[in-house]
Amino acid sequence: MLLDGLGFTNGVALSKYEDYLVFCETWKFRCCKYWLKGETKGETETLIENLPGGPDNINLAPDGSFWIALLQLRSERLEFVHTSKASKHFLAAFPKLFRLINPIYKKASVVNVATGWQDNQEVGRS
């Protein structure tokens, strides 16, 4: 096992130059890089976080960016979860709580994330 403590990993894509892979964590509303080559080999960093939905797959685009499918896992009763990392991590540790308090809306969207995206930026809601 390479990593543990992940929040429902759902989707993996290899980068254009095969130097890292990106994996999505649905319950933590983020995607991370795992470096396969170079000085950072074996290290993990956040590619994008605080997504407006749970990432549910990822694909490499021809230009080297990534297409990420998002499930709309939001309701008015759960908006507090999207206000802090701590609440997301708590919910990720206890996914049964999510099922008890959230009637999942059946909506989906897709976002395109460039590889130069900064980990402190957020995707805007539409």
| pLDDT digit string, tens, across residues 91-125 | 777 777 766 656 555 667 777 888 764 443 444 44
- Across the chain, mean pLDDT equals 79
Runs of H (alpha helix) within the chain: 85-93, 95-101
For tokens 């809306």, the residue is 105
- Is the Cα dihedral 73, 51, 60, 47 positive or negative? negative
Global model pTM greater than 0.85: no
Distance CA 13, CA 24 (A): 9
Distance CA 91, CA 32 (A): 18
Considering 11-15, 49-53, 79-83, 115-119, the range whose residues carry the highest mean pLDDT is 11-15
Choice between 38 and 99, residue whose per-residue pLDDT is larger: 38
Say whether pLDDT at 29 is over 80.
Answer: yes
- The tokens for 91 are 């919910």
Q: Which CATH architecture has domain 9-113?
A: Beta Barrel (2.40)
The pLDDT-based confidence of 6 (bands split at 50, 70, 90) is confident
